[in-house]
A and B are shown apart, each in its own frame.
Chain A
Amino acid sequence: MNMRKVFKERFINAQKRNLRYLRLLFNDHFVLFLLIAFGGLVLGYREIFKQAEFNWVWHSPVTPFLIAFFLTLVFQIGKLVTYFEPADRLFFLGTDYFIATDYLCYALWSSFCFSMLWQCLAIVSILPIIIKLGELSIIKLITLIAFYLIYKLVILLLEKEQLFQSSRLKMNHMYYLIVYYLIPFLLLGFILSLSSSFFLVLINFFTVVFLLIILMNFRNNHKVSINWKMAIEQAVKHKQLVYQFYATFAEIPQQVKTIKRRRYLDLFLKLITRNQKALYRLYVVRLARDRDILPLLVNILLVGAILILLIPRTTIFLTMGIGLIILYLVTFQLIPLFKDTENTLWTRIIPIDISQRERIFMSLVYRMNLLVSAILVSCNFKNGLHQSITFVIILIAGNLLLSKIYVPHQLQKIKKGYL
């Protein structure tokens, strides 16, 4: 069995699927969000170079480590993507060696190429700051890029090793933090602060030696056996993450619903649902334990908050646009919660009629949007009271429009089976 062919077929199928979803994505609200977010980021980025209040950036010894922190975050993009499926444990029984030597090697290199794109983009985007810091020699730039890419390859090799039964490396949380965050952060910060070419060459040398040691030690042999449980779990998790990304801006049919207990939220849930209707409690609890919607809401809110913090004071229309888009995205993400709750037989047998269920859901959307608005307004306080009051009025108007017109319209569509 040609395992390379199997991987190539799966890779091509996955890219076709991605293209299909990207078409959905770019037809939807994503382009608008992207344009505004990109515009906000560029404006914010430009301010760092123009405004005197950011002068400390160019003289502070902390700056290289701030850059290293940013690069370390981007470093996390691009895990080992295997495209394994649950049925593989049955149909590929007895192909372990070929999977290790052929299939996973292709998976490793394709994952590396994908992550390399992101990493190069990160370095290019941060290059103006590195140049302004001064002392950017060719050797420093080469060391930075070489370390960044080689270390990523090492990480992917370690991820591949984890998929075997007899893995010599059992990653716990501590190892994970050290290998994925601490080492790249410290070494990148070190590279950016160094000016001696000798040390830079030394770092390059040791990085290559490290890679060779890993390559020599993790060679496959006939005793290799795939840990299917872990391999399939990892692949399914990755697939869900990709769907989750698309689901931020478009409806994804293949998304499987998963839940997380989140016991630490119990007390908070009890507090906010006290004296509330049973169905309201149900919506809130389902939202708090949802593995997809809640993290998406938090991500959207975080992106919005960062953008509003970065946008300069003079561009109030941009701030308002971002605020309204964030409210719209939060509402858009909450709709599936209603649909999914309606699809549960339990909801249909409880003695609360549909119009009441809709009203309760609309009040949840309204309150969620109020909470989001409060956070966004607090991020905008740096721009003065006058601008903040305008921002509050705009957000309240947006919230009313969404919860009184958009949400009822969407719920009607769900009732008629169009959504």
Chain B
Amino acid sequence: MGLNVNNLTGGYSGTTVLNGVNFKVENGEIVALIGLNGAGKSTTINHIIGELQPTSGEISLNGARLADNPTIFKKQIAYIPEQPMLYDELTLSEHLHLMLATHEIDNVQSWKRVEELLNMFRLSDKQHWLPTHFSKGMKQKVMLVAAFMLESPLLIVDEPFLGLDTVAQKDVIQLLKQHASLGNSVLMTTHLLSSAAKFVDRFVVLKDGQVYFTGSAAQLGDRFNLKFNQLDDFFDVFQQVSSYEHA
């Protein structure tokens, strides 16, 4: 089952960005959505989290369609945006309590999981801090804790490594693997392909609002003549290939 994006067409205020996007993220699978700037990655994510309304196509999660009941659908999603979004007036722990409350999750039971995550990201002693005292990396960590504590069936992460130190990056990879191993789906976007290739099951390459390629890291390497350690050069090669095709 998992996430199913079927023939999705849509975009922003009258501009069509996506043109019949099709892909799946099975339960227990980690899929990376990649592409050059303007390919439609963020637009696809905005459609999945219900921020944009498709002109046609369908999005479903474990059989439940977004269009039928957006409230129930969105409740199954945990989303980590590229730019951290926090309330200036709320402390770290107040943010986490709010997130648990909006998802109607029992606070007492879930708080143990929250404490584990806070320890992992070295935020335990900062629970009463306001966002104005956080660095960019710390804000990103708060976003990660808020998302992972929900243990949602679908986790969407926009650029998970952005602003994180190498220790935190390793922790995130471990958490993503753990989250998927529990039977949940993970959809992420990234530009760091060599790091992602170590734990991502499949890559979905978007080009001009359409799915250009789908496959594992090995298949991606074969398709674009790249060795595993050369995957970070993918976007250079992809741009060249695209411009040849265009010509």
Chain A interface residues (CB < 8 Å from chain B): 1, 13, 85-87, 89-98, 165-166, 222-225, 227-229
Contact = CB atoms under 8 A, between A and B. Distances in A.
A232 B9 CA distance: 24
Nearest to B50: A225
Nearest to A13: B89
B104 A1 contact: yes
B49 A91 contact: no
A97 B95 CA distance: 21
Contacts of A85: 87
Interface in B37-52: 49-52
B101 A93 contact: no
Contacts of B194: none
B69 A223 contact: yes
A98 B101 contact: no
A95 B72 CA distance: 8
Nearest to A3: B102
Q: Bin the interface of chain B by size.
A: 20 to 34
Nearest to A225: B70
Interface in B50-101: 50-53, 67-77, 79, 81, 85-87, 89, 95, 98-99, 101
B86 A225 contact: no
A223 B87 contact: no
A96 B87 contact: no
B24 interface: no
Contacts of A225: 50, 53, 70-71
B83 to A, nearest CB: 10
Interface of B: 49-53, 67-77, 79, 81, 85-87, 89, 95, 98-99, 101-104, 143, 146
A228 B51 CA distance: 6
B101 A1 contact: yes
Contacts of B52: 165
B69 A93 contact: no
B85 A98 contact: no
A223 B70 CA distance: 6
Contact of B75 (A90, A94, A222): A94
Given A86-B85, A166-B53, A91 B71 contact: no
Contacts of A98: 71
A165 to B, nearest CB: 4
B68 A223 contact: yes
B49 A93 contact: yes
Nearest to B86: A87
B77 A93 contact: yes
Contacts of A86: 85
